[in-house]
Structure 1
Amino acid sequence: MFAATTGTSFAAPFVAHEVAKIATRYPDAGPNLLRAITALSAPPLEAGRVPNLEPSTQFAYGIPNADRVLESGQNRAILVFEGLMDIGTRVIHELPIPREFAQLVSGAERRVRIVLSFDPPVKRSRRNYVAGRMKFDFVRNMTLTEVKRTWEQQPTVAEREGNPELPYDEMPNENKRPRTIPGVNTLSSNTLIRRDISTNTWREDDEHYFLVVSHDKSPWTASQLQEHPQQSYALAIELVDEGRPELDLHGLAQARLTSRTRQRATR
């Protein structure tokens, strides 16, 4: 009497209900932040749960569960950001990841999940309608000066496509730029991107963590570029330590953020 099938008719009201709960908790959130938090709330669907369907291609980021992101927990912290950036530029976000999170503890399964959401203007009269692409890189154990210098020397995707021989510096290795799951080139053209950070090689002496958000503008006309000089975007980040329920990740992250703010205020 029952069978597994796919479709959006039932999915749409279900997702709308979850988004409504998130919007109630985050009343000032714009569309990008609501999308990012919703994607963050969805645990990946396990393979084999629905016969003959591959989760990675059929279910994207999973089934939203707003209750997972309404509040930070004892060993779980939710970080959010929403703002604007100039097109064709990069923005560096310093993440308040506490030192205790990187401590090597037996049985402590740690996870960092990051979601980027943006809403590029569209060219409705052309098939290539997405006016710009965005991506992010997670960086650790580098100073802000080093991060700025490294990424400022990187040509954009559009620049490399226009001149394949354009020189550029090698990006940091996995010690400073950990692998993401899925990889950085997977779903790179999406306007909603979620990646998990591999934490197998984290070290306690990693002092700084950054998220480098990059925007590559499409080759629009001068008038179109003037009409859309900035791009809105949002980030939603989850820190989880499954093995240490006593670890107050939210409090530690908040203390690190407060300390960093005070340091900047005294300079």
Structure 2
Amino acid sequence: MREDVATSASRVQRRHRDEFEQSGFTVLESVIDAEDLAMLRAECATSVARMDRHLDKLGTDVLGITHRGKRYFISRRYRDSERLPGFIFGDLMREITTAFLGSEVFLFNEQWVVKGAAGADGTDPGMKFAWHQDSGYVNFRDPGNVHRPYLTCWCTLDEVNADNGTISVLPHERAGSRNHVFPHRKEQGTNDLIGYEGDDPGVVIEAPAGSVAVFSSTSLHRSSPNTTQSQRRVYLTQYSAEPIHATDGTSWGDAVPFVSDGEFVYDAAGDRRAD
């Protein structure tokens, strides 16, 4: 973490930086303004509806780790939106990412993570998600991959708590996960990757809507089932301090320049979908 990058008045305080340095995560409460929060909720609804249509077309209810109505992971579609780049590459994300990554920042990935609501009688809850490291997904698909830990910004569109499927995070000092990626195995049925099967329950993240849980890609975390009658919606953006490459030298994920030498460099006109 760089000490020479200014964090202006505020949203990222010394205690947040210290928590992240020691434990691998911290929570910035209520930092997303009402206008952006409303935009993110609308964009989320559009993306989930589009995914349901895609599942209809494929004739399935399961696609990777997405399970229709129970949980959704919808990745790398921000270029379909006129509004999302303004948030991903906006002032808030610039402040957060430079505070924890330093003066060089690239967008690596972004995705919607939505837990479906439980049935009216509390049955059939939105699905849990197993203990894993985000870097574990990279290394499972590309064994031998070596990369600097990247930054996950878990943006809450709803209040998150133990009832509606929030995350729990294992602090680095308890998990031994600082700059270390554990082996992961694939769970049959859910397609989850599992990187921890111990007894430590971790730290439950409870926060208001509009908060950002910030954690390292080597932080072990999981999410509980959603037992409420409302969706639990999160927008997840991930940033790296340098482009991340696969072992064959090709790009892994995105590597969209955001900040260089502390200066904003995102080129909206040049950032167009290639597929």
Tell me, yes or no, whether TM beats 0.5: no
Q: Compute the TM-score of the two structures, normalised by the length of structure 1.
A: 0.36
Higher relative contact order (CA 8 A, sep 6+): 1
Structure index of larger Rg: 1
Q: Compute the TM-score of the two structures, normalised by the length of structure 2.
A: 0.35
Instruction: Choose between structure 1 and 2: higher helix proportion.
Output: 1
